[in-house]
Amino acid sequence: MGKKVKSIAAPKEKGPLTPELLGKYVKAKRTQSGLRLEDAALICGVAKETLS
């Protein structure tokens, strides 16, 4: 059995969408969906390193 994914909340930050803020939103949505980084990358058709 794989490692359990801990869900995190979406960021509450306001303002322009920076690469860092976009990454936080993607991570929050991924963890809320219960997906590991490897699984999300596979679904998106990109390498794990690209998604991280």
Domain ranges, ordered by start, for the chain: 19-51
Burial (0-12, 13-18, 19+ Cβ within 10 Å), 40: buried
- Predicted confidence at residue 1, as pLDDT, reads 55
Query: Residue by residue, what is the 3-state secondary structure of the chain?
Result: CCCCCCCCCCCCCCCCCCHHHHHHHHHHHHHHCCCCHHHHHHHHCCCHHHHC
Q: What is the mean pLDDT of the chain?
A: 92
Mean pLDDT throughout 4-29?
92
- Predicted confidence at residue 4, as pLDDT, reads 86
CA distance 45 to 13: 29
| 3 state SS of 29 | helix
pLDDT above 80 for 18: yes
